[in-house]
Structure 1
Amino acid sequence: MMTTLRIAVLCGLCLFCTKAFAEEPLFFSVLNQRSATLTAQYWNPILSYVSVRSGVPLRLKMGRTAPETTAMTVRGDFAFAYTNHLFTPKRDLLGWRVIARPAGKGIQGAIVVPETSPVKTLTDLAGKEVGFPSPEAFVGYWVPMDALLKAGVEVKPTFAGNQEGVMGQLKAGRIIAAAVNAQVMESYARREHFLYRTIWQSEAYLDLPVMAHPRCLATRWRRLEMPWLK
């Protein structure tokens, strides 16, 4: 997922952050998209590798929902965060900085329905209950909601707390359609053997980045950063 170069950047930041955060483990948050178990299965090997390379223990920590994790991130509970919920004018003032980003084609928002659903277009959703991960989800709320509004379609939003939460509601038949991260939806459907159709999909946007807390970005690190990124 991360290139070797980008992991090296994270290792370098870890070494510097030991002074900023004393000798305690550095907390690394991941925005809630999948279940806590699946998130841990994916991220713990990465964090273990970085911990060994840097000599600094990293510990995965998340809230129960995406809004809760974001609130903890804004509060400064973490040294690093894998998130795209900090790109607002107000949160930009907090000083978090992008240090790495997954390689790949990016992420896309999508509105999906079960394969057997009679819904064919966005207009078929008018007045219906549509599921979203959370009010702050970029490709799971802001992008698809913008498309709905531009199409003149008003829906009744309901929020599940994370990406796979809303997918589970769709699979269980609790909602008629779901706005999701298209890539996460593909993985979920493959794992859960769930057949679905996409009735709308956005252009590609940059994937979620790994961001560092400003306490990890003092002048000394800035001088060391450029050789890694060139």
Structure 2
Amino acid sequence: MKRSLGLGLVILVCAAGISTAHAAQCAEHRPINVGVVPQQAPSDLAKAWLPILASISERTGCAFRFATAPTIPEFEKRVSQGDYDIAYMNPYHYTVFSKNPGYVAFAKEKGRKLKGLLVAAKASQINRMEDLNGMKVAFPSPAAFAATIIPIAEMKAAGVEVTPTYVSSHDSVYLNVSRGFYAGGGGIVRTLNAMSPEVRDKLKVIWESKAYAPHAFAALPGLTPAVTQAFFNGMASLSNTEAGQGMLRVLRFKGIEAATDSEWDSIRALNLDLIRLGDPK
């Protein structure tokens, strides 16, 4: 298993409040890197995930450490290198990185199906996908499954030709579209709902995809199974307390539930292995 000691711009913060006695109970006596795909600004992700990982660490005795990357392509590179012990990644990422370096899904967001969206400025005359024909459209990254791959495929099937521009995150898509810099943009329901009202209220949804399997929580091969189970148990238990429910609401999560690799077979069946991930972009 590859261990990364220097992740550059990745935000790495050790979970606080773990006593030496607690830490000794963990099956791994080291910090466990939990990598989260940067659909939103890393600082916003940190605010949401640090309290959750601190709570899980305190409950389980394992030092779960938050990690992300400045952009989605950089996140892909780091996942390909095995920099994260546990990674929260989109469905397409999972189908790629389950092959190499071999991540194995063990959980998913409870009760969630992933839907791609196209948004436009509420004040604009763009009301349908077809209205974007010939225009510049913002997307988070080439391999963002529901926010990029699916909308572009659907537009091509409908004969809608656009010029895609990649702006590094879902938040950047929404901000740029709300300010009129792009005619439209791709996103997903959860990240759109997580935007501040002053941005979200300036946008309208002009197209929505069918539902797909959601993001996967996946473990790197070689991670002690007891640690993976501890993470799952700790995160699943958040929905049992008022404080934990508050943390999950920040993520727009109801909770998590167990998952198996085969649940992403419908994504594999789309034959989307057209994008090289993990290479410098």
Q: TM-score category by the smaller chain?
A: 0.7 to 0.9
Instruction: Give the whole-Å Cα distance in 2 for the aligned partners of 1:201 and 1:136.
Output: 18
Structure 1 vs Structure 2 CA RMSD: 2.6
Give deviations 1:19-75, integer Å, cap 9, x for gaps. Answer: xxxx33111110011112221121112211221122121111111001101110110
Q: Is the CA contact (8 Å cut-off) linking 1:109 and 1:179 kept in structure 2?
A: yes
Partner secondary structure for residue 216 of structure 1: coil
Task: Quote the Cα distance in structure 1 between the aligned partners of 2:36 and 2:117.
Answer: 21
Q: Does 1:81 align with 2:87?
A: yes
CA displacement, residues 180-215 of structure 1 (integer Å, 9 cap, x when unaligned): 112211221536453222111011222212111102
1:108 aligned residue: 115
* 1:123-181 deviations in Å (ceiling 9; x for gaps): 22111100000001000111111110110111000001111111111122111100111
Structure 2: which 5+ residue stretches go unaligned?
A: 1-24, 231-256, 260-281
2 CA distance for matches of 1:55 and 1:221? 10
1:64 pairs with 2:70: yes
How many residue pairs get aligned? The number is 208
Tell me how far apart the structure 2 counterparts of residues 229 and 69 of structure 1 sit (CA, whole Å). 24
Cα pair 1:28 1:78 within 8 Å, conserved: yes
Residue by residue over 1:76-133, the C-alpha shift from the partner in whole angstroms, topping out at 9 and shown as x without a partner, is 1111111024333575242101111111232210111011111122222111100000
CA contact (8 A) 1:109 1:180 kept: yes
Match of residue 52 from structure 2? 46
Give me the whole-angstrom Cα distance separating, in 2, the residues matched to 1:51 and 1:191: 35
Q: 1:210 aligns with which of 211, 217, 220?
A: 217
Q: Which residue of 2 aligns with 1:29?
A: 35
Match of 2:127 in 1: 120
Which letter maps to 1:29? G
Q: Cα distance 1:98–1:217, how it changes in 2: closer, same or farther (>3 A)?
A: farther
Which has the higher mean CA deviation after the structures are superposed, 203-212 or 86-95?
86-95
Q: Distance in 2 between matches of 1:49 and 1:75?
A: 28
Relative to 1, partners in 2 of residues 1:15 and 1:207: Cα closer, same or farther, differing over 3 Å? farther
The answer on 1:144 being equivalent to 2:169 is no
SS of 1:141 mapped into structure 2: helix
State TM-score, norm by structure 1: 0.81
Judge conservation of contact 1:130–1:155 (CA < 8 Å) in 2.
Answer: yes
| More helix as a share of residues | 1
Instruction: State whether residues 105 and 204 of structure 1, in contact with CA within 8 Å, keep that contact through their aligned partners in structure 2.
Output: no
CA–CA distance in structure 2, aligned partners of residues 46 and 203 of structure 1: 30
Q: Quick one: structure 1 residues 42 and 159, their matched pair in 2 at CA, closer, same or farther if it must change by over 3 Å?
A: same
1:27 aligned counterpart, secondary structure: strand
CA separation in 2, counterparts of 1:79 and 1:90?
Answer: 13
2: CA distance, partners of 1:192 / 1:120: 18
- Structure 1: which 5+ runs fail to align? 1-13
Give the secondary structure class of the aligned counterpart of 1:158.
Answer: strand
1:188 and 1:93 map into 2 onto residues whose CA distance is 33
CA distance in 2, matches of 1:94, 1:104: 28
Q: Which amino acid is the alignment partner of residue 25 of structure 1?
A: P
Distance 1:189 1:145, change over 3 A: farther
| 2:193/2:200 contact within 8 Å kept | no
